[in-house]
Amino acid sequence: MASTRRELISLIEQGVIPTEQVAHAVQASGLHPSNRAWAVFIDRLLLWLGGLALAFAVLFFVAYNWAEMGHWLRFGVVQAAMVLAVGIAIWPKASPMVQRLALTSATLLVGVLLALFGQVYQTGADPWQLFFSWAALTLPWVWVARFELLWVLWLGLLNLTVGLYFRTWGGPFGVLSSSDAALWGLFWLNTLALATWEWGARYRNWARQWAVRLLAVGSGVPMTLLTMTLIADVGLVWSPVLAVYSLWLAVLYGVYRYWWPDVFMLAGGCVSVIAVTTLLLARLLLWEGDWQEGSLMLMAIAVLAMGTGAVVWLKRLHQEASQ
Amino acid sequence: MTRNGDDFKAKLSQANITLNEPIKPLPLETPWFVRALQAFSGWLAALFLLGFIAMGMVFVVESPATSMGLGLVMIGAAYALLRRARSDVLEHLALAVSLAGQLLIAWALVEWWEASPYSLWSLLGWSLFGLQCVLAMVMPSQVHRVFSAFAASLALYMALAMSVMAPVASGLVLLAMTLLWLNEFRWPGRFKDVQAWGYGLLLGLLVIQWLAHSGQALPLLNDMTDSAWAGLKSWLNVALIALALLLVFLRVFQNLLSFRGRWAAYACATALLFVSFHIPSVGQGVVVLLLGFAIGHRLLVGAGVLSLLLGIGSYYYWLDSTLLMKSLTLLVIGGLLLLLRWALRQWLNTQMATQGDGSLDRDA
């Protein structure tokens, strides 16, 4: 799909396809899906929409907290739905797509069951415990499903666990540093997941598409925020944050420039550097300076220079990668 | 040209398309994330530039006419720069100058409309919508066109939200976006422009949906006034989704599907519109998904999935119905969709078997 579109566009741009024949070329190129492709697409769309609608129906039902309905009946509804989903997943005649949908639904239903447990017995458990239990209980299914989307959902649960844990208990230095601690937690979690996924993609043929990019964003955003917090609070002083940030940038550059070239990752690094440097300049020129119009002009020029430099460099890398 | 490229050329030649020798060197397409970085730094630089003007030339911001004049001059300068720009540096500079100029114009408009007896935000929304539409048409830069189309969709949302007609804004943006993407190659000389507008509207559509989902329809909009059309907003939204869906169907049906298949598709569409009325914003997600698949655009398909997820999330917080009713609605819809799938599989597998085309399970 994507490569046909790319080829077609490049031929139109080069003037290879005469203007009056572009419409015909679009038809002949195979860009538009065939009857069969439509049939498969609609089949999958109906399957996923239908399956997820049923799983969400159970979720909404539990959230309604119907007082007239007995506890056992409510547990029965959720557990029956979960058993049904797992039963479909292990049914030998189910196609791999149906099995994946069933396991995804079952994973969602475990969370619903845990929420219902907390709702009925008023356990007083912290929210992070719910998400942690959810992630721990569903790991075996996620493992056997070998499904990218489900892994990302599972990692999302772990992210929530880490964020909520530090919001509740704070970091090693108390509740005041809970925000920083949560950012550290998210950074290490997503960086570890990213490294594992990249290793798997390299040596175990794991799918390496949007999920890796999402994890890289999950790793880069907390690190950048930590560095920006440091600069906003105390300025550019020696700190473990600065050391880790520098190391993170160096590893990002080394890995995605030479080991596994990926312009998206490097672009993310550029955005991070621009954001951090702009904040540092703002601190030096504006907060510690005296808000002169010349400083603002200087900032504008600096941002323009950094942005342009990054775009020129990234375009060059993209050109190298394309060749 | 790669091997894939040679195969592709051979395919076109077989379809009796005369292929010329390249008259231009192959331009390397800039990835979307590099364009996003360009827009981000341009926007950031524009803010500092505006700060410089506000501090260095206070008389400019104190007078709406001067603000407006300088804003127009800056946009004109940006236009001239973009016309001549052969380097990233100039394009970047022009983008920042133009954005700062637009902010100055917006500032002048706020000053002017404040004295008006009509709603400030509605007037501002319509004015900015007009400005951004013009800029999207004339500015000779793809990044600028994407940004202007995006800003135009948000301005339209702001204008309509003031009359409690926010859902109509997303319907209109969806319809405009569908028209653009379905006709992306109609004008071969300007297909890049059409794509840029399409991307801008797509981004706008997702942001509007997110604003509706978060329930914070722009914090500034706290003086909404009910209009005579407000009661029809849900119907109008469904009508606009139906129109967008019909356009997608007409394109798909040009060379595909039998008579029975078309009627099956129309039946599914009717069911979808019924769902859209009860679950707002799910319909638009499905239209974006179908549109993306119909024109072979993976990014649109991904955006459709995202829109659908946002739609289901919004449904949870929708206050017009209890969670029990929502649960029952989802149960019925889920059951019907799976039943529909089963029926379609029976029918399609029979068709494919008679045509010797295998079964759907081959691709599952």
Please spell the DSSP secondary structure of A28-46, one letter per residue. Answer: HTT-S--HHHHHHHHHHHH
What pLDDT shows up at residue B225?
58
Residue B1 clears pLDDT 50, i.e. is over it: no
pLDDT above 70 covers what percent of chain B? Answer: 84
Candidates B343, B323, B165; CA nearest to B240 is: B165
Alpha helices in chain A (DSSP H): 2-14, 22-28, 35-64, 71-90, 96-121, 127-145, 148-169, 178-203, 210-233, 240-254, 263-282, 293-322
Least reliable range by pLDDT among A264-268, B12-16, B177-181, B225-229: B225-229
Find the mean pLDDT for residues B180-194: 89
Please, are residues A58 and A84 in contact by the beta-carbon 8 Å criterion? no
Residue of A nearest to B33 (CA): A264
Beta bridge pairs of residue A174: A171
CB contact under 8 A, A50 and B316: no
CB contact under 8 A, B295 and A270: no
Candidates B200, B190, B209; CA nearest to B132 is: B200
Place of tokens 């946002």: B310
What pLDDT shows up at residue B228?
63
Angle (deg, nearest 10), helices B323-354 and A35-64: 160
Phi, psi dihedral angles at A70 (to 5 degrees): -65, 155
Place of tokens 């849900």: B234
Nearest CB among B24, B48, B52 relative to A14 is that of B24
Q: How distant, in Å, are the alpha carbons of A1, A33, B187, B356 from that of B194?
A: 20, 21, 9, 40
What pLDDT shows up at residue A176?
46
Cβ pairs bridging A and B (under 8 Å): 267
Task: Please give the Cα distance from A157 to A155 (Å, whole number).
Answer: 5
| Higher-scoring residue by pLDDT: A195, B223 | A195
Residues of A in contact with B142 (CB under 8 A): none
Task: Please give the Cα distance from B103 to B159 (Å, whole number).
Answer: 17
Side-chain-side CA neighbours of B85 within 13 Å: the count stands at: 20
Beta bridge pairs of residue A171: A174
Amino acid sitting at position B56: G
Task: Please give the Cα distance from B205 to B310 (Å, whole number).
Answer: 12
Distance from CA of A223 to the nearest CA of B (A): 18
Looking at the complex, does the CB of residue A80 fall below 8 Å from at least one CB of chain B? no
What pLDDT shows up at residue A120?
84
Candidates B252, B5, B263, B13; CA nearest to A34 is: B252
Please, are residues B276 and B238 in contact by the beta-carbon 8 Å criterion? yes
Token readout for A178 is 């809970």
Q: Which residues, 6 or more positions from B71, have their beta carbon under 8 angstroms from its beta carbon?
A: B101, B102, B103, B104, B105, B107, B108
Place of tokens 């999330």: B313
Q: Which residues, 6 or more positions from A122, have their beta carbon under 8 angstroms from its beta carbon?
A: none
Residues of B in contact with A50 (CB under 8 A): 333-338, 340-341
Residues of B in contact with A12 (CB under 8 A): 185, 188, 191
Distance from CA of B350 to the nearest CA of A (A): 12
What pLDDT shows up at residue A127?
83
What pLDDT shows up at residue B343?
85
- Regarding pTM above 0.90, the answer is no
Q: How would you classify residue A34: left for phi > 0, otherwise alpha for psi between -120 and 50, otherwise beta?
A: beta
Render pLDDT for B61-104 as a digit per residue (tens, 0 to 9): 788 899 999 999 999 999 998 888 777 777 878 888 898 899 99
Place of tokens 């299914």: A141
Task: Please give the Cα distance from B213 to B209 (Å, whole number).
Answer: 6
CB contact under 8 A, A17 and B19: yes
What pLDDT shows up at residue A262?
92
Residue of B nearest to A35 (CA): B256
Candidates B7, B293, B286; CA nearest to A33 is: B293
Q: Model ipTM?
A: 0.83
CB contact under 8 A, A42 and B344: yes
What pLDDT shows up at residue A175?
44
Task: Provide block-wise average pLDDT over 10 residues at a time, chain A (323 residues).
Answer: 77 82 83 84 90 91 81 89 93 90 94 89 82 94 88 94 82 57 92 94 82 94 94 86 95 93 94 95 84 86 92 91 77
For chain A, the straight-line distance linking the first and the last C-alpha, in angstroms and rounded, comes to 21
**What is the CB neighbour count within 10 angstroms for residue B41?**
27
**What is the CB neighbour count within 10 angstroms for residue A285?**
18
Angle (deg, nearest 10), helices B120-138 and B142-161: 160
Max Cα-Cα span within chain B: 79
Phi, psi dihedral angles at A119 (to 5 degrees): -65, -45
Residue B147 clears pLDDT 90, i.e. is over it: yes
- pLDDT-derived band at B195 (thresholds 50, 70, 90) equals very high
Residues of B in contact with A29 (CB under 8 A): 8, 11-12
3-state DSSP of A297-309: HHHHHHHHHHHHH
